[in-house]
Amino acid sequence: MSTKNAPESLFETIKQTVLVPLHAAGLPFVAGGALATLCFMLVSETLAILAGVFTIFCLYFFRDPVRVTPQREELVISPADGRVINVASNVSLPKEIAPENSPATFTKISIFLSVFDVHVNRIPISGKILKSAYNPGLFLNASLDKASDKNERASLLIETDSGRHLGVIQIAGLVARRIITDVSEGDRVETGARYGIIRFGSRADIYLPEGTNALVCVGQRCVGGETVLADLVSNETRREGKAH
């Protein structure tokens, strides 16, 4: 690396790891926290510190880092940061997005997002949004199996350019109270593009076409917009993991 390019590279590194952009959904929280901090400074040092901590946490929680998405047809990319908590075969699509001509079963990958994970969600594969549905529900711990069916959720059915169907579900968690989805039925979407956010602790479920093997294993951490979950044209067997 030349000396001439070093300062620019250092700046890019700082920008991508420290000066991470803020998602628009976090602006009211950060602005409100900052205002509360200033007001509390006039009456209570303790309250001002608490408000300041809340503001800093919101800056961290609503961060929206740049991601580099693998570009190849038929790759399924993780829609969220978090830990894989389940990989299940022979699972039905949520009824609100299941098309009449859809295969009976799918492979489901569930990713749990803690409050410390990036909560901006990304499109897992390019295609067209065939269905979009919102279901009110409970706010159970998102790591529980029944959260897929019982919790508040927003669901998308994507048809790929090759005609395959995939489901991606944003699921509210124990403290999550708002799911934001910025795409609609009929929209054309691209792999890795931002499409929404879940506020505070949540889960993402991805439904892969029948016969597709997951290329991630339970316990593995995923990076939204970067980690490859599956290859729709690969014959590779399902991966198993081992902790070291």
pLDDT digits (tens, 9 = 90+) for 39-94: 999 999 999 999 999 999 989 888 999 999 999 989 999 999 999 999 998 998 98
pLDDT number for residue 111:
95
Residue 114: active-site member: no
Name the more confident of 139 and 218: 218
DSSP tag of 227: S
Are 158 and 193 contained in the same domain?
A: yes
Can you tell me which residue has the tokens 């081992």?
242
Domain for residue 238, yes or no?
no
Name the more confident of 3 and 112: 112
**What's the whole-number mean pLDDT along residues 8-12?**
66
**Residue 14: pLDDT above 70?**
no
Domain for residue 227, yes or no?
yes
Domain for residue 236, yes or no?
no
CATH code of the domain containing 162: 2.70.70.10
Domain for residue 243, yes or no?
no
Of 102, 126, 148, 202, the active-site residue reads 202
Domain for residue 41, yes or no?
yes
| Helix 45-61 / helix 27-40 crossing angle, nearest 10 deg | 170
pLDDT number for residue 3:
43
pLDDT number for residue 243:
77
Are 216 and 148 contained in the same domain?
A: yes
Are 57 and 83 contained in the same domain?
A: no
pLDDT number for residue 2:
43
Judge contact between 198 and 181, C-beta under 8 A.
no
The residue from 61, 85, 100 where one domain ends is 61
Are 135 and 223 contained in the same domain?
A: yes
Are 109 and 207 contained in the same domain?
A: yes
| CA 12 to each of CA 7, 9, 17, 19, 132: distance values in angstroms, whole numbers, following the listed order | 9, 5, 9, 10, 37
Structure tokens at 28: 């009211």
Are 113 and 227 contained in the same domain?
A: yes
pLDDT number for residue 129:
96
Are 90 and 192 contained in the same domain?
A: yes
Apex 99 CA angle, 137 and 218, nearest 5: 60
State the Cα–Cα distance between residues 189 and 195, nearest whole angstrom. 9
| CA 104 to each of CA 90, 163, 166, 203: distance values in angstroms, whole numbers, following the listed order | 8, 16, 13, 23
Nearest one of 169, 163, 146, 142 to 209, comparing CA atoms? 163
**Residue 1: pLDDT above 50?**
no
Q: What's the domain range around 30? A: 6-61
Are 13 and 130 contained in the same domain?
A: no
Nearest one of 83, 200, 190, 183 to 143, comparing CA atoms? 83
**What's the whole-number mean pLDDT along residues 170-196?**
88
Percentage of the chain exceeding pLDDT 70: 89
pTM of the model: 0.85
Domain for residue 218, yes or no?
yes
Are 102 and 162 contained in the same domain?
A: yes
Domain for residue 112, yes or no?
yes
pLDDT number for residue 102:
63
Name the more confident of 41 and 99: 41
State the total domains in the chain.
2
Are 21 and 89 contained in the same domain?
A: no
Are 108 and 207 contained in the same domain?
A: yes
Domain for residue 21, yes or no?
yes
Are 103 and 223 contained in the same domain?
A: yes
Backbone angles phi, psi at 31, to 5 degrees: -65, -45
Contacts of 100 (CB under 8 A, 6+ apart): none
**What's the whole-number mean pLDDT along residues 97-116?**
85
pLDDT number for residue 177:
66
pLDDT number for residue 176:
62
pLDDT number for residue 17:
59
